[in-house]
Amino acid sequence: MNQIDTRGLSCPQPVVLVLNEIRSGKSEFEVLLDSEASRENVKRLLNKNKLKFEVKENLDHTIYHVKR
């Protein structure tokens, strides 16, 4: 399973990386996020593409586990 580490990146880089992963057709991947703006923007992108995801909160970052 692919893992996209967007920690430390500013928008729109996290959204672009996740969009590339969506377009690649992968059935499952994880996104690591560490900023509120990135979390909201990626969440919006996933919802727009009708992808289901689970949210895992860690101390210093959030993980979106995406499944098609």
**Domain segments of the chain as ranges:** 1-8+17-25+36-62
Whole-number pLDDT of residue 26: 87
> In the structure encoding, which two tokens stand for residue 54, read together?
């689970």
What are 3-49's pLDDT values in tens digits? 999 999 998 999 999 999 999 998 899 999 999 999 999 999 999 99
**What 3-state DSSP class applies to 9?**
coil
More confident residue, 61 or 27: 61
Please give the Cα distance from 50 to 7 (Å, whole number).
Answer: 24
pTM of the model: 0.94
User: Are the beta carbons of 39 and 11 closer than 8 angstroms?
Assistant: no
Taking the alpha carbons at both ends of the chain, their separation in whole angstroms is 13
